[in-house]
Amino acid sequence: MGLIWNCRGLNNTLSPTIPKIRALLGSKFYDFLFLIETKCSTSQIFPMFRTLGFVKNFGVDAVEASGGLWVGWRNESKMKLVKACNNFVILLVEKYNGRLWYLVLSYGAPCLSMRASVLMEMEKWFDTCNFPFLIVGDFNQVDFSCDKLSSSQRPIDGAEEFNLWKIRNELVDIPYKGPRFTWCNNLKGDKRVYEQLDKSMGSKEWFSLFPDTGIKHYPI
């Protein structure tokens, strides 16, 4: 079980995000913690969560207060870093029955023009991996019109390419519980937008190993 949190800013110890994350971590046992858009250096994050048991970690520093990824995991979680870049981190997991599988923690490019290249880089890795895999994270991409609520009726940029990428790689969506929308632009009136940007999907082989898996969306 893991906790994924889109921080949208974690650049000081007084951030209100930190006690919220700590409260969730105290309520259940989590194997790993994945933070997205930390907007700070990894050296600032590790001390915040090391005392909670996440003694192994890897991160990508933010660039001028933009982006930033960090993942921490426990000794007993039997995870090993395999690959990392600015948009995703891949861990090899040994879980249950000694089975090996990959956990891909993703952060899609915010800029539409760069999104396809991130997906293609991930797809190249799919062709080489020799174990089932699960992908979880913020893709910065809406799949369908029902996953967006706004006053605009424009077609969703990037949706067709994203869905073709899923079909081409035979990815299976993991069912979720909780609110549909995982992001809001926090604007007022007609300018307010809600979207489902966070999602999870697995290879067919992974889903056959863990068919009862589910994702829980917490309120925005």
Mean pLDDT of the chain: 90
- Give the integer Cα–Cα distance in Å for 52 and 139: 28
Q: What is the pLDDT of residue 13?
A: 55
134 and 214 inside one domain = yes
Domain final residue, candidates 28, 58, 77: 77
Q: Which spans in the chain are helix H? A: 17-27, 42-50, 112-126, 159-168, 204-209
In terms of domains, do 43 and 143 share one? no
* 68 pLDDT higher than 60: yes
Domain end point (choices 58, 77, 96): 77
Same domain, 116 and 41: no
Same domain, 87 and 166: yes
Q: Are residues 87 and 174 in the same domain?
A: yes
- How far apart are the C-alpha atoms of 154 and 82, rounded to whole Å? 39
User: Residue 119: which CATH number?
Assistant: 3.60.10.10
Residues 217 and 119 in one domain: yes
The residue segments making up the domain with residue 98 are 80-220
Cα distances (Å, whole numbers) of residue 75 to 59, 94, 114: 17, 12, 35
The pLDDT of residue 12 is: 57
The verdict on 18 and 65 lying in the same domain is yes
Split into its structural domains, the chain has a count of: 2
Whether 67 and 87 map to the same domain: the answer is: no
CA 82 to chain centre: 16
How does pLDDT run across 7-54, given as a tens digit for each residue? Answer: 876 765 557 788 888 888 888 889 999 999 888 888 888 888 998 899
Q: Which two tokens stand for residue 140?
A: 């910065």
Q: What is the DSSP string of 11-65?
A: -STT-THHHHHHHHHHHS--SEEEEE---S-HHHHHHHHHTTT--EEEEE--SSS
My answer on whether 129 and 163 are in the same domain is yes
